[in-house]
Structure 1
Amino acid sequence: MRRRTFVIGALILGLVAAAAFFARRGPRGVEVDTTLVARRPNLQAFVTASGEIVADRYADIGSSVMGRIDDLRVKEGDKVRAGQVLARLDPVQARSQRDAATAGVQALATEQVAAREQVRAARADIDAARARVAETEANLRRIDSLFKERLVSAAERDTAVAAADGARAQLAATQAAVSRAEESIRTAERRQQQARAQAAGAGDLLSKTEITSPIDGVVSRLQVRQGEMVVIGIQNQPGTTLMTISDLAEVNAEIKVAEADVMRLKLGQSATVTLDAVSGRRFAGKVIEIGTGALPPAVGSAATAAAREFRVVVRITDPNPGLRPGLTCDAEILTDERPNAIVVPLQAVVLRPTSTGGEDTAGVFVVRDGAARFVPVKTGIIGGLLIEVAGVEAGTPVVSGPFQVLRTLKDGDTVTTAKK
């Protein structure tokens, strides 16, 4: 009995001692990762995107006429000059249309000559009709004077009056014939102008059976072969693209930039372009064009859910002669830089509500005497995984993780530093 009482007393004393020990030790606290606020000599912010190499000047060569390729004079990779004949289409149909239109012009010219002859004849008839009018009117005046002296009968006077009226009517008819002949000349002239325009159009189509290069460059893509049919575009159906001529004197990188980054871009910003095809080489460049409208969503993606992208063109200032349009590339555009910047890891900056209940405030948790203290900071540019801050000194330990802990960490929480 005495021994049992002794054991129970010893257990009670042990429990009391353990409780006193843990009471003096206090709570263990949340385990966190910490890092020191650092100073960077030069913090740089970049926008990265992917795209492809394109020529600054290029032309997709199509055709204004339909026909079979009779003569293909270039192959892919050939250098061409502006105005050089690249291909020739079957000209039979276009030539026949030109010849028919030319013959129509000549026929109308003959009709115009005939109409002018009709006008001259009608004008001669006018002169004869006027002479006839003068003759009949003079005769009528003589008959009138004799009729007054009762030397001629009324029938003879009526005959003279009718002759004069007939001569006047004949003169009017002849003048109308002249007007009609002159209108025929004007009509023939207009028809001849129309025929000449049709002949010019037919001649233009005939000339376009010879496909020429609009610029100096290289045949970067050839999509047809000799003997194939070439068609022209109709409404929503595109026509045949024969080839692409690219001027490789100046080469660009055409990239697609996410909508979250495009507002940080400006014309003239420096860039670096890399290509898988040219490993180990970095090409300098600058931004020369920023798209004002988003590119269409990718095929198969929901138009409302797909992230928007914008077309950005980077001019490569030191191109390699071996660069070719279509090569894939990555571009890194320098958007901002800060000398002697105070930085912390990006994940260390968190948002917490203000005491006044307004908008959330950005800040970091500084570790002081085993507790996390929320310190508001003003953020600047983002460079990789670092962000510029103002409001804390370099060398100050701040909480940088884990992410789950930072989500719920509060000002004044007891923390312990995780052992590395």
Structure 2
Amino acid sequence: MKKALVFTLMAALVVGIPLTKKYFKSETLKEVEIEQVTMQTIKASILASGQLKHEEEVKLSAEVIGKVSKLYVEEGQKVSKGQLVLKIDDQTYVAAVEQQQAAVDQQRVAIERQKMVVENLARQWKRKTKLFEQKLLDTDAYDAITHQYSVAKIDLKAGYEQLKQVEARLEQSKDQLSKTKVVSPIDGTITSLDIKEGETAISGTTNIVGSSLMTIADPQSMLAEINVDEADIANINVGQKAEIIAIAFSDTPLSGTVESIASSAKVSRGSQSLSFAVKLKLGENADISLRPGMSCRAEVFTRGEQNMLAVPVKAIQTEEDNDKDLVENFVFVLSDGVAKKTQIKAGISDDSFQQILEGLDKGVSIITGPDKIVRHLKDGDKVAIADNEA
């Protein structure tokens, strides 16, 4: 009986002592992951999204109203600058030109007739002036011929002004007639054809059938237009390198360069924040078929690759003091089995590492995880390196 009791106590000690140690260890020591402060290559960048667009793209719309009598192109066809692509029925406009031409001719005839009247009255006025000076013509007769001569000259001047009006209307009619023939303003490809033969083209109206004729674009002028938040736009400059990924070809990143930055901001869709349109010129497209309107995301590298003192981003914690409007960054340094809270000054970062400007030296061991431990870690807590870090 005594032997059995002894063996039971011994077994309890053998099993209980390790369990007790483990229990107290878990209460006093927190197992953490560590990494050393090292020199890392960081390429600072800004992420933004947008769409692919043609830099050189023209949307043709009708400038006159009429039925499309002839369509000379089809979607996907290449066209050259000045090439006739569409013709609108011009009978009404031809008639208008002929009518205004007749009005011009008629007015010119009226001017010639008035010139003859003026010349005749001029001769009469000269003769009667001599008679008046010789006192062979009374004052009333002289005043009458003088008045007729003055009115005739005014009528001739009015005739010239009328001629200007009818000539202007003639030019307007000719301009309207010329617009019945639509030509391509650029070398490119028909990317969208929005009208058919027999349909009516409508001018001066948007978003209704007939207002848009076609879209012509230069397929070699594809670019990415991204929307950069106003908080980041100060870091964007023309010439910076970028990596663009079209959502449809997510496995094929494209190189790019910042080509232009909008001078004014616009409100982002679905939010009140402001953003600036930034155009990225694409490099080689790796023979993938890019199309305008495709969604894309881009990473603009605001600084070149630099070798600098850095720590993993996940190791950095943030502390805010709203009363003092103060935000401070810190990390936990492993020192003699204790987590030591250390204030730092951070610089640029990428997806993995953050530059350290002040507060840490190379080779120092910092606590990087696990997150559930680091979140609740306090200055002076006792810690142990997790087995996978040993």
- Report the TM-score, using the length of structure 1 for normalisation: 0.77
Report whether the alignment pairs 1:389 with 2:356. Answer: yes
The 8 Å contact of residues 250 and 319 in structure 1, kept in 2 or not, is answered as no
1:235 deviation in Å?
9.5
Could you tell me which residue of structure 2 aligns to residue 362 of structure 1? 329
Q: Distance in 2 between matches of 1:57 and 1:79?
A: 14
1:415 deviation in Å?
3.4
Could you tell me which residue of structure 2 aligns to residue 216 of structure 1? 187
Q: Distance in 1 between matches of 2:31 and 2:154?
A: 102
Q: Render the CA deviation track for 1:207-264: whole Å, top value 9, x for unaligned.
A: 0100011111111111111111111125998981211111233321122334444333
Q: Distance in 2 between matches of 1:124 and 1:285?
A: 82
Gap change, CA 1:120 and 1:375, over 3 Å in 2: same
Percent identical among aligned pairs is 26
Q: Distance in 1 between matches of 2:197 and 2:325?
A: 73
Gap change, CA 1:235 and 1:46, over 3 Å in 2: closer
Counterparts of residues 99-178 of structure 1 (less than 5 Å): 99-134=98-133, 137=135, 164=137, 167-178=138-149
1:296 deviation in Å?
3.5
Answer with 126-135 or 92-101: which moved more: 126-135
The 8 Å contact of residues 70 and 90 in structure 1, kept in 2 or not, is answered as yes
1:275 deviation in Å?
3.2
The 8 Å contact of residues 63 and 240 in structure 1, kept in 2 or not, is answered as yes
Report whether the alignment pairs 1:415 with 2:383. Answer: yes
Q: Distance in 2 between matches of 1:127 and 1:101?
A: 39
The 8 Å contact of residues 40 and 339 in structure 1, kept in 2 or not, is answered as no
Instruction: Tell me how many residue pairs correspond in the alignment.
Output: 366
> Please, which of 353, 368, 377 is the counterpart of residue 400 of structure 1?
368
> Please, which of 153, 156, 180 is the counterpart of residue 185 of structure 1?
156
The 8 Å contact of residues 239 and 258 in structure 2, kept in 1 or not, is answered as yes
The 8 Å contact of residues 254 and 311 in structure 1, kept in 2 or not, is answered as yes
Answer with 30-39 or 219-228: which moved more: 30-39
Gap change, CA 1:291 and 1:121, over 3 Å in 2: same
Counterparts of residues 264-279 of structure 1 (less than 5 Å): 264-278=235-249
The 8 Å contact of residues 54 and 223 in structure 2, kept in 1 or not, is answered as yes
Q: Distance in 1 between matches of 2:25 and 2:213?
A: 82
Q: Which amino acid aligns with 1:344?
A: V
Q: Distance in 1 between matches of 2:349 and 2:301?
A: 11
Q: Render the CA deviation track for 1:259-291: whole Å, top value 9, x for unaligned.
A: 444333211111222335556543322011122
1:178 deviation in Å?
0.9
Gap change, CA 1:408 and 1:238, over 3 Å in 2: farther
Q: Distance in 1 between matches of 2:195 and 2:210?
A: 13
Answer with 344-353 or 217-226: which moved more: 344-353
> Please, which of 375, 378, 381 is the counterpart of residue 342 of structure 2?
375
Answer with 363-372 or 185-194: which moved more: 363-372
Gap change, CA 1:107 and 1:235, over 3 Å in 2: farther
1:85 deviation in Å?
0.7
The 8 Å contact of residues 39 and 362 in structure 2, kept in 1 or not, is answered as no
> Please, which of 307, 315, 336 is the counterpart of residue 340 of structure 1?
307
Gap change, CA 1:328 and 1:129, over 3 Å in 2: same
The 8 Å contact of residues 32 and 373 in structure 2, kept in 1 or not, is answered as no
Q: Distance in 2 between matches of 1:63 and 1:353?
A: 60
1:53 deviation in Å?
2.4
Q: Distance in 2 between matches of 1:379 and 1:201?
A: 68
Answer with 240-249 or 202-211: which moved more: 240-249
Answer with 403-412 or 88-97: which moved more: 403-412
The 8 Å contact of residues 195 and 210 in structure 2, kept in 1 or not, is answered as no
Could you tell me which residue of structure 1 aligns to residue 47 of structure 2? 48
Give structure 1 stretches of 5+ with no counterpart: 1-13, 139-163
Counterparts of residues 309-328 of structure 1 (less than 5 Å): 309-319=275-285, 322-328=289-295
Report whether the alignment pairs 1:68 with 2:54. Answer: no
* Secondary structure at the counterpart of residue 288 of structure 1: strand
The 8 Å contact of residues 340 and 380 in structure 2, kept in 1 or not, is answered as yes
* Secondary structure at the counterpart of residue 336 of structure 1: coil
* Secondary structure at the counterpart of residue 111 of structure 2: helix
Q: Distance in 2 between matches of 1:235 and 1:276?
A: 30
Could you tell me which residue of structure 1 aligns to residue 96 of structure 2? 97
Q: Distance in 1 between matches of 2:68 and 2:29?
A: 79
Q: Distance in 2 between matches of 1:281 and 1:404?
A: 36
Q: Which amino acid aligns with 1:252?
A: L
1:203 deviation in Å?
0.1
Q: Distance in 1 between matches of 2:142 and 2:207?
A: 63
1:378 deviation in Å?
1.9
Could you tell me which residue of structure 2 aligns to residue 225 of structure 1? 196
Q: Which is higher, the Rg of structure 1 or of structure 2?
A: 1
Could you tell me which residue of structure 2 aligns to residue 256 of structure 1? 227
Q: Distance in 2 between matches of 1:281 and 1:347?
A: 28
- Report the TM-score, using the length of structure 2 for normalisation: 0.83
1:181 deviation in Å?
0.6
1:196 deviation in Å?
0.7
The 8 Å contact of residues 50 and 225 in structure 2, kept in 1 or not, is answered as yes
Gap change, CA 1:308 and 1:31, over 3 Å in 2: farther
